[in-house]
Chain A
Amino acid sequence: MPTSSEHAIEIRGLAKRYLLGERTVLYGSFRDAFAGATSAVLHRARKGRPRKRETFWALDHVTLDVECGQVLGIVGRNGAGKTTLLKILSRITDPTAGEVRIWGRVGSLLEVGTGFHGDLTGRENIFLNGAILGMRRQEIERKFDEMVAFAEVERFIDTPVKRYSSGMYLRLAFAVAAHLEPEILIVDEVLAVGDAAFQRKCLGKMGEVSSEGRTVLLVSHNMSAITSLATTCIWLDRGRLRMSGPPDEVVAAYLTEGHASAEPGHADLRDPALREGVPKPTFKQVLYESVRLVNADDETSGVFFEGEPMRIMLGFRSEIPISRLEVLLKFMSLDGVLIFTLTSGQMDVALDRGAFELPVEIPRLPLRRGLYKIEMYVLSGSVPQDYLLAAVEFEIAGQRGFVEDARHVRDYLGVVSVDHEWGEPRQVGEAVEQTVAR
């Protein structure tokens, strides 16, 4: 203990492997199990060797130490293993290989409102949620008033939470988690939800927690949250530790290089790990398979110019026939600010099982220079089917033929360019005599 007292967490060669087949067929049935067993036997008889399943390393032998009192920011693309790492640290899932040693009680907050039940009142949910997160009854009673005040739901505390507004629901859920007092606090993407005021409040509360000397692990796509809160930062890339160091440096490196790692303007979306950490449950009968960004010259590209057209080709695969389809595309800056959303509305379609494509045309892309990502959402009827947080990223290089200073664009010009026209200046009223004495 004395040698390791500076370390809150020691991670040695930590790895997690998923079988891709098993993850895509979410769960089996007896019949499938029998069918699988027989076909495996047949296969073995023919080839002499069992079939090899496709595997995928969500975490690929990561070694890392976290010191006590540190706020560790974790950045990385979707599917890089961030959520898997947090899940292993909070004992939700077991690693395939490697070792984790943790000193102190862990409180993890992978989603706000875990275990909330709509039919229970705010008061009842506070107790239930607190118990689920590992608080003692006395502890909850002691902090009850504080939590209610933080959530600003005093008047509704005995109302079932299903009648709460989504803001109230979220505030209450976060309030319980924020008053958890573990030595190690693990937080995943809580800031992605809620309005700006709520986000500020959460950030403040987390800063408070770390100033009390407790260790915080924070995953976020919100880069300003990472740079302002974290004392050190790591960048995970396809399950590996790509870089660690001061948050400014890691975030800068991630932002400039992280987006360029895949084929620009095209993303293969079949990897189930991309769906990890999505805040809404989805049915997964209709899945995105690919997305392709096409420019004015009909080329797939990751770089576009301000005001030029963009065509988005969405590829899907469906296990069911679809009669009503609804697609949402959210355009966001890479640091997590929602800029605009394209919604198809409920489209009447007649699609059979299998693959299908859907193009979307933006005649004039109104974005200024910067890095952007698209969040994609699809529903059949009103059933949420698939949701991808950062399905594809692209860059706007500014106006064609102009070289602009990125900082100038960001600080002075903003992110959208709006179609507009300036009229001729025109005199109003009578001309004023210049010779009027003062």
Chain B
Amino acid sequence: MLELWRFRELLSFLAWRDLKIRYKQTLLGVVWAVLQPILYMVVFTLFFGKLANLYDEGKPYALLALAGSVIWLFFANSVNLASASLVGNASMITKVYFPRLLAAIAPVVAGLVDLALSFGVLLIVMAAYGLYPGFPRLLFLVPFLLLALGTAVGVGAWLAALNVKYRDIRYVVPFLLQLWLFASPVVYSSQLVDQPWRTVYALNPMAGVVEGFRWATLGGVHPSVGRVALSTLGGAFVLLGGLLYFRRMERTFADIV
């Protein structure tokens, strides 16, 4: 851990490289960061918005879908890029020493920039609907964001380490994220899940994140403390498990990547 701190400059360089390369020689550049959640919003609103009572919170469905998509896309893109990070940096890993975890964290950090941009879009759309974020409530974004970050790093580290050993993980990741999307309250409200499943459901860290993020920006019903605690527990479990597994596998990366 101390070592990670010593190499913090490398982390920022790697994250900055990821961003720079992602948007070099692309037609739309950073517009992609903004376009993705908007397209999600449009698709979700068209296909699910008309369905009865996916949400019962008295807010426009489009807005709820957009808020969910913004934070979900941050998570999904981070996990996706992190899981490919070790294999993608194979030449570096076999040629030079640095804490390998940095390679998996860098895309998550880079994702924060995209998140900031798409959050800007969310604020604009909110304003268009005549809705403004309440100030003290907005501060709750920070813990939920940290939970999303931790979960993304945990899952990313786990998948990245597995991907070094088993290359078919690459095909599993999109599928896993697809399932996870529908297991999180992005297109629907968690109110739809009945007890006792609702408690189990809350163990999904992204359930807490999406709900919390939506509440902190849009307001409305706030998620119960118990469920948030469960999500945090789930997130901590994923993060710890991911880091431990990563650590155990780390020594062999250079030999098998």
Identify the A interface with B (CB < 8 A). Answer: 18, 22-23, 26-31, 33, 87, 90-94, 106, 108, 110-111, 114-115, 117, 119-120, 124, 127-128, 131-134, 136-137, 281
Identify the B interface with A (CB < 8 A). Answer: 7, 9-10, 13-14, 17, 20-21, 24-25, 89, 91-98, 164-169, 251-252, 254-257
Contact between A33 and B92, CB atoms less than 8 A apart = no
Contact between B92 and A115, CB atoms less than 8 A apart = yes
Known: A27-B166, A93-B254, A131-B13. A124 touches B96 (CB 8 A): no
Contact between B96 and A128, CB atoms less than 8 A apart = no
Contact between A110 and B96, CB atoms less than 8 A apart = yes
Closest B residue to A136 by CB, please name it. Answer: B9
Contact between A30 and B168, CB atoms less than 8 A apart = yes
Which residues of A sit under 8 angstroms from B97, Cβ to Cβ? 90-92, 106, 108
Which residues of A sit under 8 angstroms from B165, Cβ to Cβ? 27-28
25 example contacts (A-B, Cβ-Cβ < 8 A) are as follows A22-B256, A26-B256, A28-B165, A29-B166, A29-B167, A30-B169, A31-B168, A87-B254, A90-B97, A92-B94, A93-B255, A94-B251, A106-B97, A114-B95, A114-B96, A115-B89, A117-B21, A128-B13, A128-B17, A132-B13, A132-B98, A133-B96, A134-B98, A136-B9, A137-B9
User: Separation in Å of the A55 CB from the closest CB of chain B?
Assistant: 13
Which of A31, A132, A281 makes the CB contact (< 8 A) with B96? A132
Known: A127-B13, A131-B9, A131-B13. A92 touches B96 (CB 8 A): yes
Contact between A119 and B254, CB atoms less than 8 A apart = no
Which residues of B sit under 8 angstroms from A91, Cβ to Cβ? 97
Please name the 9 residue pairs, one residue from A and one from B, whose CB atoms are nearest each other, closest first.
A91-B97, A131-B13, A114-B95, A93-B254, A94-B251, A131-B10, A29-B168, A119-B24, A92-B254
Which of B24, B95, B164, B166 makes the CB contact (< 8 A) with A30? B166
Contact between B91 and A281, CB atoms less than 8 A apart = yes
Task: Say whether chain B's binding surface is mostly helix, strand, loop, or mixed.
Answer: helix
Which residues of A sit under 8 angstroms from B96, Cβ to Cβ? 90, 92, 108, 110, 114-115, 132-133
User: Separation in Å of the B99 CB from the closest CB of chain A?
Assistant: 10
Known: A27-B167, A119-B21, A119-B24. A110 touches B95 (CB 8 A): yes
User: Separation in Å of the B169 CB from the closest CB of chain A?
Assistant: 8
User: Separation in Å of the B64 CB from the closest CB of chain A?
Assistant: 37
CA distance A115 to B24 in the complex (A): 17
Contact between A111 and B13, CB atoms less than 8 A apart = no
CA distance A119 to B20 in the complex (A): 9
CA distance A128 to B98 in the complex (A): 13
User: Separation in Å of the B119 CB from the closest CB of chain A?
Assistant: 27
Contact between A132 and B21, CB atoms less than 8 A apart = no
Which residues of B sit under 8 angstroms from A114, Cβ to Cβ? 91-92, 95-96
Which residues of B sit under 8 angstroms from A29, Cβ to Cβ? 166-168
Which residues of A sit under 8 angstroms from B17, Cβ to Cβ? 117, 120, 124, 128
Which residues of B sit under 8 angstroms from A33, Cβ to Cβ? 166
Which residues of A sit under 8 angstroms from B20, Cβ to Cβ? 119-120, 124
Which residues of A sit under 8 angstroms from B92, Cβ to Cβ? 114-115, 132
Which residues of B sit under 8 angstroms from A120, Cβ to Cβ? 17, 20-21
Known: A28-B166, A132-B96. A18 touches B255 (CB 8 A): yes
Closest B residue to A18 by CB, please name it. Answer: B255
Which residues of B sit under 8 angstroms from A23, Cβ to Cβ? 255
Which of B9, B93, B256 makes the CB contact (< 8 A) with A27? B256
Which residues of A sit under 8 angstroms from B167, Cβ to Cβ? 27-29
Sample of 5 more A-B contacts, CB < 8 Å, known A29-B166, A29-B168, A114-B91: A23-B255, A27-B167, A93-B255, A119-B24, A136-B9
Which residues of B sit under 8 angstroms from A110, Cβ to Cβ? 95-96
User: Separation in Å of the A334 CB from the closest CB of chain B?
Assistant: 26
CA distance A117 to B88 in the complex (A): 12
Known: A108-B96, A124-B20, A136-B9. A119 touches B25 (CB 8 A): yes
User: Separation in Å of the A350 CB from the closest CB of chain B?
Assistant: 29
